[in-house]
Amino acid sequence: MDFRTDLALERCEFLGKKETEGIEIETFEARKARVSRITVTNETGEKTVGKPIGLYVTVEVAPFAKHAQFIDDSLGALVNEIRRLVPESGSVLVAGLGNVKITPDALGPKCASMIFATRHINGELLKATGLGNLREVCSFSTGVTGDTGAEAGELIKGIVDTIRPDAVITVDALAARSVSRLGNTVQMCSTGIVPGSGVGNARQEISEKTLGVPVIAIGVPTVVDAATLVTDYSGNEAGKIPESAGRMMVTPREVDLMIERAAKLTALAINCALQPEISPEDMLILTA
C-alpha 136/C-alpha 91 separation (Å) is 5
Scanning the chain, the segments in alpha helix (DSSP H) are: 8-14, 43-49, 73-85, 107-112, 123-129, 145-148, 152-163, 208-211, 226-234, 255-274, 280-286
The C-alpha angle 120, 209, 157, rounded to 5 degrees, equals 35
Q: Which domains does the chain have, with CATH numbers?
A: 8-286 (3.40.50.1450)
154 Ramachandran zone, left/alpha/beta (phi>0; psi -120 to 50):
alpha
Query: Which amino acid does the sequence have at 247?
Result: R
- Backbone φ, ψ for residue 37 (5° rounding): -110, 120
Nearest to 38 by CA among 48, 209, 63: 48
**How far is CA 257 from its chain centroid?**
18
C-alpha 175/C-alpha 251 separation (Å) is 10
pTM, whole model, 2 decimals? Answer: 0.90
72-92 tens-digit pLDDT: 778 999 999 999 999 999 999
Q: How many residues does the chain have?
A: 288
User: Would you write out the chain's pLDDT as a tens digit for each of its 288 residues?
Assistant: 456 789 999 999 887 756 678 999 999 998 789 999 999 999 999 998 889 999 999 999 988 877 766 677 789 999 999 999 999 999 999 999 999 999 999 999 999 999 999 998 876 777 777 777 899 999 999 999 989 999 999 999 999 999 999 999 999 999 998 888 998 999 999 999 987 654 555 678 999 999 999 999 999 999 998 877 777 666 655 556 666 666 678 899 999 999 999 999 999 999 999 999 999 999 999 888
